[in-house]
Amino acid sequence: MQRSALSVMRAVLLLIFFISLSSGCGKRVRRIDPGTTTDLSGYWNDTDSRLVAEGMMADCLTHPWIQQHVMRTEARPVVIIGTVRNQSMEHIATGTFIRDLERAFVNSGQVRVVANPLEREELRGERYDQQEWASEETRKRLREETGADYMLNGAIDVIIDREGGREVKFYQVDLFLTDIETNERIWIGQTKIKKEISRSGLGL
């Protein structure tokens, strides 16, 4: 028995030695391509935001609502991006996601996007300022804003299931495009992401 107690202590000291060796490693930084898929913690991340925005906008922009609008009005539809509610149990930077959506719309060239309510206030402040301080030839007119035809909004939700060291996260992103005049839903998009996170019960 004493022999086994001694062997435990020997093993312990050996472990201490290896720990002291491994603790010598310093901090290392390397640049990676922003398009690279990275999953470190299992939380919602920049890759999720980008992939979901790209996928959903691709679906939205190939949907017939754009042609129907052009045929009816002979103009490109104007969209305002509303809120994307975070109904999950994670702090999700919905601002990044919204900007990804805006970028996809604007870059497609098929849709015009107007500033959201928060930015609008800032722009209005600037316009009011110009009435007082800018020269007449450069001054921008009041009440010449472009009214949006449609509003895009939505929600991000998550369902988590956990058993022991295994966790499955199911994200669901719903986006709705609604006709501002009639409240009619003209497009509904949905994307689901399932992530499995495994934690090892033992480690050094």
Partner 1 sequence: MRHRREAGWIRGLCLGGLLALAGCASHASTMHDVRAALRHHDLEEARARLAEAGRGTDDLLFALEDGLLLYYAGDPELSNDRFEFAERRVDDLYTESITRAVLSLVSSDLVLRFEPRGIENFLVNYYRAFNYLELGEPEEAWVEWRKLGWKLQFSREQGDALYLDPPFFSYVAGLGLEADDPNDAYIAFRRAEASYRERGAGAPPPELIDDLIRLAHDLGFSDHLELYLTCYGERAAALDQALVSAGGRAARADWGELVVFVEDGLVAPIEEVQVQLPITRGRAELVASGGEGAHLDLAAILAREYAEGRFAGIEPRYARRRGIAYLMPISLPVFGLGQAAFGRVAAVVGNDTAAAWPALQVSALQQLAFQDRLLGIYAKTIARALVKYAAAAKLREEAEEEGGETAGDVVGILANLVNVITERADTRAWLGLPHRIWMARLRVPPGRREVRLLFDGREAVTLGEVEVTPGDRQLLSYRVF
Residues in contact with partner 1 by the rule CB under 8 A: 1-2, 4-6, 8-13, 15-16, 18-19, 41, 85-91, 160, 162, 165, 199-204
Taking the complex as a whole, the smallest distance from the CB of residue 137 to partner 1 amounts, in Å, to 41
| Burial per residue of 119-136, b for 16 or more beta-carbon CB atoms within 10 angstroms, e otherwise | eeeeeeeebeeeeeeeee
Nearer to partner 1, 10 or 139 (CB): 10
Q: How far is the CB of 145 from partner 1 (least distance, A)?
A: 27
- Using the Cα atoms of residue 136, residue 139, residue 142 and residue 144 in order, give the sign of their dihedral: positive
Can you say whether the dihedral through the CA atoms of 179, 88, 192, 48 is positive or negative?
positive
Q: How far is the CB of 9 from partner 1 (least distance, A)?
A: 6
Give least dist CB 159 to partner 1, A.
10
- 90 vs 179, beta carbon nearer partner 1: 90
User: What is the rounded distance in angstroms from the CA atom of residue 204 to the CA atom of residue 197?
Assistant: 19
Rounded (10°) angle between helices 94-108 and 46-61: 40
Please identify, using beta-carbon distances, which residue of 135 and 200 lies nearer to partner 1: 200
Which of 64/95 has CB closer to partner 1? 95
- CA 81/CA 93 separation, integer angstroms: 15
